[in-house]
Amino acid sequence: MGAAGEQERVTASAWGGGESPFAVPWTKLMMWLFLISDALTFAALLSGYGAMRLTAGAWPRQSEHFDIGLVGAMTFVLICSSATMAVAVGGARRGDRRLVVRFLALTILGGLTFLGMQAYEWTHFIREGARLIGFVSHEPALTAIPPMFSATFFVITGFHGGHVTSGVIYLLIMAIRAARGLYSGESIEVLGLYWHFVDLVWVFIFTLLYLI
Amino acid sequence: MADHHESGQGGAWYRTYVVTWVWLLVITGLEISVVFVGLAKTLVVTLLLILSLMKAALIAAYFMHLRYERLNLVYVVITPLILAVILFMGVAPDALNAFRLRR
């Protein structure tokens, strides 16, 4: 590069091309962009939930339908799996393959435990008479509940559970690849971004659907 | 990039993750106790929103390493979420109106 080229490189803005304005690898940037769009989908679902809950006027007390202790345990498991994921990312950056595989396995275990508890919760709720279109029951107290109570519950926790399921599959693939030595610090970090995002969304679902 | 936090402070490299993990659990415990301690509804909602935003910030900053990324990227991540809050503020007055009419 000559003196003129050097001059241009120094004066051109970071956005002029040929630079990396975010200073991250492209896979990481693409994952961030996907997560932003996914966050907006969840934001739309949760805004819709808020609007419908307000519009319904009366809303059942959540603790009468869900075991808050169980939901607390689900939150605990997901936070722990996020922490093990973070350690796996750190291990991958240090090239410690055994650590990566072990902590990815722990993260998978956390994800599967979460899904198991969610399946249990759904089963309990469905046996009570809850359906996507409202409650099907002989008890007037249940049929008086706004249909949106069970509808928003199934759609939002289902959409999140779908994310956990695809996350577990993603984790499995990457764990198998890591066990064969096919991984990089970058690929595990991008995987980590997805998994932490699933945890981050659960923070809001836990608060807005179960606690408020 | 993401490695900056690991130099300069003592302790093992996973120390930040352990501290973040403990804080997330503490805040979750606080959230559950706020609900069952029996405060006024408005206060409960405000506290819960603040606590969950704190948790989200902890996850994004330390687990997702956003604290160690360029501000460029941080802005790109945060701006759409502000727009999402505006989205809710757009639909909220209508819903609140229906809420008042039903009571």
- Taking contacts as CB-CB distances below 8 angstroms, the residues of chain B near A72 are 28, 32
Looking at CA atoms only, how far is residue B73 from chain A in angstroms?
6
| ipTM score for this prediction | 0.88
Percent of chain A with pLDDT over 90: 85
Average pLDDT, chain A: 92
- CA A88-B66-A200 angle, 5° bins: 70
CB atoms within 10 A of CB A175: 22
Task: Please tell me which residue, A178 or B84, carries the higher pLDDT value.
Answer: A178
- Most B CBs within 10 Å: which of A55, A89, A106, A205, as the mutation test of the B interface? A55
pLDDT of residue A20: 83
pLDDT digits 0-9 by tens, B21-48: 999 999 999 999 999 898 898 999 999 9
pLDDT at residue A112 above 50?
A: yes
- Taking contacts as CB-CB distances below 8 angstroms, the residues of chain B near A192 are 63-64
Looking at CA atoms only, how far is residue A87 from chain B in angstroms?
6
Residues in chain B, pLDDT under 70 = 1-10
- Most A CBs within 10 Å: which of B22, B23, B59, B79, as the mutation test of the A interface? B59
pLDDT of residue A8: 56
Nearest 10 degrees: Cα torsion B42, B43, B49, B55: -160
**Residues near B6 by Cβ (< 8 Å), separated by ≥ 6?**
B13, B16
Task: Please tell me which residue, A11 or A180, carries the higher pLDDT value.
Answer: A180
Percent of chain A with pLDDT over 70: 93
Mean pLDDT, range A165-173, rounded to an integer: 98
Looking at CA atoms only, how far is residue B9 from chain A in angstroms?
16
- Taking contacts as CB-CB distances below 8 angstroms, the residues of chain B near A80 are 21
